[in-house]
Structures are given as structure tokens and as C-alpha cells.
């Protein structure tokens, strides 16, 4: 969410950003509503002032007749005030429903485009493996090595369900431990955050398209069961399963004011991740490439409102992702994401894609996004400057390592002619074995 003052002062830039991001948002209507909203707010405040003045007159009235006169006047003002408040709530709802759609103006070097086809490759690392034999995909490797069971996964969990077994399960846990230790060594505070959370962190971080959860478009699982509070009463808040640790980490300091000297704050979190994938129904249905649940280590930074510094921090996060891929020996490429493939709140975005021989293409294994203050305004995370000014922090996030696609990349890139799979050297201390062989 942007500052309305900023929107008023940068109308054309925001209209262009909406067009470039393929978003349908009526900025002119928003500004009209904004004017009406201010007028109604003033009316409500005037009525509140009148009510306070009449309450004082009632307290200080000289006799019953005068007191009754003020009470009658108070009733009239109260009725008018109630109507004005209702009018304000109605237009405030309309105002907020448009405000949340207003996009961040992307960086000047963000590629302009209409879809992911316009993303720009800016870096390539590693040699794609050249096999002297017919390579297998991760599905066949997983079955032959008895480390992945998709059939029983579908039986128990349904569409896109899977079991990781034996060395497969140990490889994935090794990946998470490796990523965690890497992030801690880089100065990131490690957390295991909640994965069952309230609505506001998901709205605040931009995982809802609108003000509230919409099952038709939001790729988030809503939990049907209502919690009970400590007093035994049912909780009023709905609960959701996170698709990444990002919302939980970003909301850690919600409604708090931090100190400038404590910024930037670097956090990372391990979590199970859940995604309904409703927008990708029928796509990549085989194997583990697109699944409903997986594990991931996520990076988050809360930074001061300094554009140049935020860009440096975003690069810091990307460099860590590259380092993880390179130490694992997985060929990858880096993409600058175009406006047509960015969500509303993002200022700049990069993807890392690993080479997947079984698909004969690169596949996304992480995204690094700079949101500036778009998320922090929703989550109300602020900081006090050394001069005493209160500002919203800038928020950045990036994938360290996700489990399924890195698992796929390891199996497919490091397979051997005898059907075995070599384990990347950096994982051996965590796995205790250096090769996966058929039982």
C-alpha cells in the first residue's frame, strides 16, 4: 500500500506502473473518492466536536429546562453523526479496496513487458551436464532408487501428494540444514516461525488479491476448524497455512516502532510451505516440480527507508542464493523480472532458475523482491530516525533454498550411468553418505 500523498503527487507515474504491470486500477476514481472521504471525515469530526461541546453544556446547564434543551440538541447531533459515520465507513471501504491495488512504481532498470516471456537473462553459471547415456528424470530416478513415492503420495494426500523416503528424505533435510547454517554464517537471525497464522500477515505481505481472502484467486489454504481462546471461547480470527515463511517473518514486528540504529534487520526462517496452486491447475502435473507442500528456508530484511541501501541489500540476498547453488554445483541462471511478471507491490525482482535436465529447461528455485514500504504500511512496521522522525521500513525477501526443485536438480544433474546419484560435497557432512544407489 502506498502513501496517498505520494499517489496524489505522482499520478502519471503510478498510472504507467499499473499499465506496465498489467493491472486494472482506476487512479482517477481513487482520487475522487479520496476527496469525498476527506470531506466526510471532516463532517464526522465536526459532529464529534459538537457532541463534546453539548456534553459540556449538559454538565454545566442551569436548570432542568436548559438541560433538556441541550439533551434534545444532543440527540439530533448524535443521529446526524451516526449517519455521517455510516457514510464515511462506506466510502472508506471503497477507498481501501482501490488503495490496496495501487502498485509500487518499479525501478528504472526493470524490464518493461507483458509476461514472463519478457524477463531478461542477466547471468548464467555452470556447465549443463553432458550425458553419455540416456538420462532419467527425477520421477524415474526416485522410483528406481526407492527415495520418492508419488503413487502412494497421491493415494494418501491426493493430487500432487508425495512421500520422500530413505536417502531422499535425508537429502532434503540436509539441504535445509545446509541453507540454515549458511544464513546464520551470513549474519541472519534464524527462526522457525508459525505456519498456521491469522489473516493480517497474509494481507499485509500481499498474498491476498483483495482486502479479504478469496478462495477463487488466493493460492492459500484456509483452515476450516475454529480455534478456541484461553478463556474457552471460539476465536473470531480465521487461520491459514503459509505458502512461505515470509509473511510470518515480516509480521514479527507488526505495529511496532524500531530504532534506526538496529536496522537493517536480517532474518531467515525455515518452514513447511503450503500452496493450493489453483492458478496452475493442469500445469506440470508430473513429479515434484509443482506440489502443494514442501520445505524452504527464506530470507527477509527490514531496512531503513534508503533506496540505494535497499538495492544493495537485495543484491546481498541474491549473492547468497547464487552461492548456495554454486556450492551445490547446480547450473543456474539469473533473470531480471519484467513488469508484466511482477506483483503490484514489487519495486524490483530477480529470479534464480536451476537447470533441470529432465525438463530440458531452467526452473525457478527462488525469487528476490524489494517491496520498499508497500508491505510495511500494511503491516505497520516503522522505525524512529536519529532525528526523531517516524518512517516505515523497507521490506525485502528472497528464497534461500526450496526443497523440491533443488532435490530435482540434484537427482537429474548428478545421476550416473549405473543409475546412482552423487551427493554434492557440501551436503555430505549432513547426509553421512556420498552417493545414492539402488537397494
Report whether 297 contacts 307 (CB < 8 A).
no
* 412 counts as catalytic: no
Encode 172-211: b = buried (16+ Cβ within 10 Å), e = exposed: bbbbbbbbbebbeebebeebebbbebbbbbbbbbbbbbee
Catalytic, 367? Answer yes
Rounded CA-CA distance 163/295 in Å is 13
Torsion of CA 120, 126, 130, 135, to 10 degrees: -80
Q: Of the listed 94, 219, 293, 364, which one is catalytic?
A: 364
Q: State which H helix or E strand residue 392 sits in.
A: strand 390-392
Segments of 153-220 assigned E as strands = 163-164, 189-191, 196-197
Out of 290, 311, 326, 327, the active site residue is 290
E strand spans, 22-181: 120-125, 148-149, 163-164
CA dihedral 166, 167, 170, 175 (to 10 degrees): -150
In the set 37, 275, 377, 378, the catalytic residue is 275
Handedness of CA 97, 99, 104, 105 (dihedral sign): positive
| Exposed/middle/buried for residue 75 (C-beta within 10 Å: 0-12, 13-18, 19+) | exposed
Which of 367, 369, 376, 403 is flagged as catalytic? 367
Query: Catalytic site residue 67?
Result: no
How long, in residues, is the chain? 439
Active-site hit among 37, 377, 378, 405 = 405
CB atoms within 10 A of CB 72: 11
Known active-site residue 290: yes
- Residue 99 is placed in which grid cell? 488503495
Question: Which pairing describes strands 394-402 and 361-370: parallel, antiparallel, or unpaired?
Answer: antiparallel
Q: What does the block give as the cell for 152?
A: 502412494
Dihedral of CA atoms 127, 130, 134, 137 in degrees, nearest 10, equals: 0
Q: Is 364 a catalytic residue?
A: yes
Catalytic residues: 275, 290, 364, 367, 405
Amino acid at each position: 500500500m502506498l502513501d496517498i500523498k505520494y499517489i496524489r503527487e505522482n499520478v502519471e507515474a503510478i498510472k504507467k506502473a499499473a499499465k506496465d504491470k498489467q493491472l486494472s486500477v482506476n487512479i482517477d476514481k481513487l482520487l475522487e473518492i479520496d476527496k469525498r472521504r476527506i470531506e466526510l471525515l471532516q463532517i464526522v469530526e465536526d459532529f464529534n466536536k459538537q457532541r463534546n461541546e453539548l456534553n459540556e453544556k449538559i454538565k454545566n446547564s442551569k436548570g432542568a429546562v436548559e438541560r433538556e434543551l441541550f439533551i434534545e440538541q444532543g440527540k439530533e447531533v448524535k443521529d446526524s453523526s451516526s449517519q455521517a459515520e455510516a457514510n464515511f465507513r462506506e466510502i472508506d471501504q471503497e477507498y481501501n479496496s482501490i488503495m490496496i491495488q495501487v502498485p509500487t512504481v518499479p525501478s528504472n532498470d526493470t524490464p518493461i513487458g507483458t509476461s514472463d516471456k519478457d524477463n531478461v537473462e542477466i547471468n548464467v553459471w555452470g556447465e549443463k551436464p553432458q550425458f553419455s547415456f540416456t538420462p532419467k528424470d527425477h520421477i524415474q530416478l526416485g522410483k528406481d532408487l526407492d527415495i520418492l513415492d508419488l503413487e502412494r503420495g497421491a493415494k494418501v494426500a491426493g493430487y500432487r501428494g508425495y512421500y520422500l523416503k530413505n536417502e531422499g528424505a535425508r537429502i532434503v533435510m540436509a539441504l535445509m540444514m545446509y541453507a540454515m547454517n549458511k544464513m546464520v554464517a551470513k549474519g541472519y537471525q534464524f527462526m522457525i516461525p508459525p505456519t498456521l497464522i491469522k489473516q493480517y500477515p497474509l494481507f499485509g505481505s500481499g498474498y491476498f488479491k483483495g482486502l479479504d481472502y478469496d478462495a477463487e484467486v488466493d493460492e492459500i489454504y484456509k483452515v476450516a476448524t475454529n480455534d478456541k481462546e484461553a478463556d474457552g471461547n471460539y476465536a473470531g480470527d480465521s487461520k491459514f497455512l503459509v505458502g512461505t515463511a515470509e509473511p510470518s517473518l515480516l509480521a514479527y514486528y507488526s505495529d511496532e516502532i524500531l530504532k534506526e540504529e538496529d536496522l537493517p534487520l536480517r532474518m531467515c526462517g525455515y518452514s513447511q510451505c503450503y500452496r493450493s496452486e489453483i492458478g496452475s491447475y493442469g500445469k506440470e502435473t508430473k513429479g515434484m516440480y509443482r506440489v502443494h507442500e514442501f520445505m524452504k528456508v527464506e530470507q527477509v530484511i527490514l531496512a531503513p527507508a534508503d533506496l540505494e541501501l535497499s538495492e544493495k541489500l537485495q543484491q546481498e540476498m541474491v549473492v547468497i542464493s547464487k552461492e548456495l547453488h554454486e556450492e551445490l554445483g547446480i547450473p543456474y541462471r539469473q533473470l531480471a523480472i519484467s513488469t508484466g511478471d511482477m506483483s503490484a507491490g514489487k519495486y524490483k525482482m530477480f529470479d534464480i532458475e536451476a537447470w533441470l535436465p529432465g525438463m530440458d529447461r531452467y526452473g525457478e528455485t527462488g525469487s528476490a523482491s524489494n517491496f520498499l514500504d508497500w508491505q510495511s504500511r500494511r503491516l505497520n512496521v516503522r522505525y524512529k530516525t536519529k532525528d526523531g522522525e517516524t518512517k516505515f521500513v523497507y521490506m525485502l525477501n528472497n528464497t534461500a533454498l526450496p526443497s523440491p526443485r533443488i532435490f530435482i536438480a540434484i537427482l537429474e544433474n548428478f545421476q550416473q550411468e549405473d543409475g546412482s546419484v552423487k551427493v554434492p560435497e557440501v551436503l555430505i557432512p549432513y547426509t553421512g553418505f556420498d552417493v545414492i544407489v539402488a537397494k
